[in-house]
Amino acid sequence: MSEGLISSRQQEVIEEFELFDDWMDKYEHLIELGKDIPAIQPHRKTDDHLIKGCQSKVWLAADETDSGAVEFTADSDAIITKGLVGLMVRVLSGADARAIAEADLHFLDAIGLHQHLSPTRSNGLASMVKQMRLYAAALAARQS
Amino acid sequence: MMMASLNLPERIRQDFPILQRKVHGKDLVYLDNAASAQKPLAVIEGQREYLSNYHANIHRGAHHLAQLATEAFEGARGKIATHIGAAHTEEVVFTGGSTDAINLVAQAWGRANLTSDDTVLVTRMEHHANIVPWQMVCAEKGAKLVPVNVLEDGTLDLDDYASCLEQHQPKMVGFVHASNTLGTINPVAEMCAQAKAAGALTLVDGSQALPHLNIDVQAIDCDFYVATAHKAYGPTGLGFLYGKKSHLESMPPWRGGGEMIESVSFEGTTFNGLPHKFEAGTPHISGGIAFGIALDWMNGVGTENISHHETRLVEHAHAALGTLKGLQIIGTAPHKVGVVSLVVDGLHPYDLGTLLDGQGMAVRTGHHCTEPLMQHLGLESGTLRMSFAAYTTREEIDRAVIALDRAINMLR
């Protein structure tokens, strides 16, 4: 069911971004999305939760809910990165650990933002996705 | 000369096919030349001509193609030597780039000459390429690495330089001819004279100077000078080390292999003479030949014309950017190459760079491989850098300023 959740959320994001054919409109939307990000609690913005990218910083925390799902909170010092992080959190947060660990994340490709996921883009996003999956995989292993 | 430089881009832009392309549906504005310059047709065609007409391995072949390739490659070495005013062609060693050239000196000279009593002096405005190779050899030898301070406007603190020379008595001093982050042109001839008087050897990193300035290594009187081809309209993966003949002769080889030997046996190997003793293995032949063509292209345009044009562009950019609220230019030294670094209050350079990319503009954001400088200036997230070349126009800078204004308004 959770796999279905991730995939329907990806579909939702793809349809949302289909409205924009100009890059600047896409970025405008990302900037708006960054404002609604489920923010990491200030006291958790420590080096333990810092994902080091070359240029922009990303903080990420993961928590297990009572029902065994994973909830993410995050932040970034760059506004566009924050929007991208917000998209990842929106797609994955609240899903089952195993579904997150195994999710086929194709939406960034579909909306033309895949370049921001490349390891050379140095915005920490690629490392963040890896970290989200690692956390989920570890939790899934404990749950089974 | 004035007239020639006024319409310089108009005359040469058609030499650069890439400048015709679009990015995200908009005309490309390429302002990342300090990272790498675009290539004129002559360079592209010259490399193609070599690969399709006279490619062969060089120096050892008895056949016709080997002879043609060797002549072209060694001819390029001669062009470099002439371009930088070297006294002897064999003082020019082909390397993989500036980084490779500095590593060569740090390893070949450093390992043979540095001890735990010695100091290597560099500056806080160095690219990592002129810090880390020294850090490595200093760690191995127990030597000290000391940085010279940079002043707030991005000029080198020459008083600190003088006192560092006196206090530390360094054996080697390394500094940039022009800073890739600040644009600052250092008074290299004076600095070399001071170092020499203090008994130190000098290595000048000319990576950002070669594309913009006339270089005369004998007038500068440095012991070593390094530069890379791709920032000077040539190919990637190639650069050179210039070294005074006496130093290069006394330095042991660094990398072993073919080309660098005279004869090899298991009892012992004797090494080739200069410059080949530092060029183990088959070199980047097509790159060397194309670099020679790039220098021909630059000389055809006139280095003074390029310098003059870029100085005008920097003045124009400083004035135009000054109209944007909350924007601060980082590096306002009186003598600069075509580099303008900036920050905007409260905004991350990465966001600004991304929004410029969305409008077809290529700029660089971040620490520009000068982390110690960024720490020194208190710029944790780095800067946004626009850097110019011979083909950059005032209109492109105006477009970039408008695009930046739009980006700032979106992010505020």
Confidence of residue B258 (pLDDT cuts 50, 70, 90): confident
Rounded Cα distance, A63 and B183, in Å = 47
pLDDT of residue B55: 97
Bigger pLDDT: B91 vs B5: B91
List CB contacts (< 8 A) between A78 and chain B: 348, 350-351, 381
Beta-carbon contacts of residue B376 (< 8 Å; ≥ 6 apart): B124, B149, B150
As beta bridge partners, residue A64 has A70
For residue range B13-45, list pLDDT tens digits in order.
999 999 999 998 999 999 999 999 999 999 999
B149: CB partners within 8 A, 6+ apart? B123, B124, B156, B157, B160, B376
User: Does B24 touch chain A if contact means CB atoms closer than 8 Å?
Assistant: yes
* Structural tokens at position B81: 């030597």
| DSSP run (H or E) holding B361 | strand B361-362
Instruction: Give residue A53's pLDDT band: very low, low, confident or very high (50, 70, 90).
Output: low
Is A123's Cβ below 8 Å from some Cβ in B?
A: yes
Interface contact B348-A77, CB threshold 8 A:
yes
**C-alpha span between B243 and B175 (Å, rounded):** 15
**Architecture of B45-299 per CATH?**
3-Layer(aba) Sandwich (3.40)
Least reliable range by pLDDT among A127-131, B209-213, B276-280, B390-394: A127-131
What one-letter code names the amino acid at B276? H
Reading the block at residue B129, the tokens are 């390429």
Q: Do B351 and A24 touch (CB under 8 A)?
A: no
- Residue A61: is its pLDDT beyond 60? yes
Q: Max CA-CA distance within chain B?
A: 72
Residues of A in contact with B405 (CB under 8 A): none
In this model, does residue A16 exceed pLDDT 50?
yes
pLDDT for residue B4 is more than 80: no
Helix pair B394-411, B303-321: axis angle to 10 deg: 30
Q: So what's the pLDDT on residue B22?
A: 95
Q: Give the structural domain span for A118.
A: 2-143
Identity of the residue in A26, A28, A79 whose CB atom sits nearest the CB atom of B348: A79
Question: Is the whole-model pTM more than 0.90?
Answer: yes
Give the whole-angstrom CA distance, residue B351 versus residue B383. Answer: 11
**ipTM, 2 decimals?**
0.88
**What contacts B389, CB < 8 A, 6 or more positions away?**
B30, B33, B37, B38, B211, B233, B310, B338
Q: Which residue has the tokens 């001093």?
A: B173
Confidence of residue A120 (pLDDT cuts 50, 70, 90): low
CB-CB neighbours of B229 under 10 Å:
31
- For the four alpha carbons of A46, A52, A54 and A57, in that order, the dihedral sign comes to negative
Q: Do B348 and A56 touch (CB under 8 A)?
A: yes
Given CA atoms A97, A102, A105, A106 in this order, what sign does their dihedral have?
negative
Nearest neighbour of B366 by CB, restricted to A26, A28, A55: A55
Report the pLDDT averaged over residues B268-283: 93
Confidence of residue A112 (pLDDT cuts 50, 70, 90): confident
Contact B26, B360 (CB under 8 A): yes
pLDDT value at position B303? 96
Owner of token pair 């530390």: B168
Interface of B with A in 320-349 (CB under 8 A): 347-349
Contact residues on chain B for A24, CB-CB shorter than 8 A: 355, 358-359, 406, 410
Residue B67 CA: distances (Å) to CA of A49, B64, B274, B376: 61, 5, 20, 52
User: Which alpha helices (H) appear in B145-250, and where do they start and end?
Assistant: 158-168, 188-197, 217-220, 245-250
For residue B158, is pLDDT > 70?
yes
For B208, half-sphere exposure in the C-beta direction (CA atoms, 13 angstrom radius) is: 29
Q: Which of A54, A79, A134, A141 is catalytic?
A: A54
Mean pLDDT of A38-53: 90
Q: Does residue B52 sit in helix, strand or coil?
A: helix
E-only strand ranges, B172-289? 172-176, 201-205, 224-228, 239-243, 261-265, 268-271
Q: Is A65 a catalytic residue?
A: no
Asked if A27 lies within 8 A of B355 by C-beta distance, the reply is: yes
Total domains in the fold of chain A: 1
**A23 touching B (Cβ < 8 Å):** yes
User: What is residue B92's DSSP assignment?
Assistant: E
A 66-95 residues with CB below 8 A of B?
77-81
Cβ-Cβ contacts under 8 Å, A80 against chain B: 350-351, 354-355
Residue of A22, A27, A35, A113 to mutate, testing the B interface (most B Cβ within 10 Å of its Cβ): A27
B positions 370-399 inside 8 Å of A (CB) = 381-382
Element (H or E) spanning A10, and its range? helix A2-17
> Average of pLDDT values for B208-233?
98
Put simply, the answer to whether A24 touches B355 (Cβ < 8 Å) is: yes
Mean pLDDT of chain B: 96
Location of structure tokens 């070199």: B283
CA atoms of B249 and A101, how far apart (whole Å): 59
Q: List the CATH number of the domain containing A60.
A: 3.90.1010.10
pLDDT band of residue A123 (cuts 50, 70, 90) is low
Please measure the distance between the N-terminal and C-terminal CA atoms of chain B and give it in whole angstroms. Answer: 44
Average pLDDT over residues B299-320: 97
Contacts of A56 in chain B (CB under 8 A): 348, 350, 381
Cα–Cα distance measured from residue B20 to residue B304, given in angstroms and rounded to the nearest whole number: 26
Percent with pLDDT over 90 in chain B: 93
B112 reaches A (C-beta below 8 A):
no
What's chain A's average pLDDT? 87
Interface test mutation site (partner B, options A57, A79, A81, max chain B beta carbons within 10 A): A79
- CB nearest B354 (choices: A22, A27, A54): A27
| Residue type present at position B333 | A
B2-30+303-411: which CATH topology?
Aspartate Aminotransferase, domain 1 (3.90.1150)
Enter the DSSP assignment of B105.
I
What is the mean pLDDT of the segment spanning B118-134?
A: 98
Task: Check pLDDT > 90 for residue B204.
Answer: yes
Average pLDDT over residues B243-263: 93
Least confident among A7-21, A52-66, B8-22: A52-66
Q: Which two tokens stand for residue B40?
A: 């004129």
According to the model, what pLDDT value does residue A121 have? 54
> First vs last Cα of chain A: how many Å apart?
17
Span B127-138, pLDDT tens digits: 999 999 999 999
Query: How does residue B1 score in pLDDT terms, banded at 50, 70 and 90?
Result: very low
Both tokens assigned to B401: 């300023």
Instruction: Enumerate the domain spans of chain B.
Output: 2-30+303-411, 45-299
| Optimal mutation site among B354, B355, B368, B374, interface A, most CBs of chain A within 10 A | B354
The shortest C-alpha distance from B337 to chain A (Å) reads 25
C-alpha–C-alpha distance, residues A71 and A94, integer Å: 5
Stretch A50-74: mean pLDDT: 88
Closest residue in chain A to residue B25, using alpha carbons only: A22
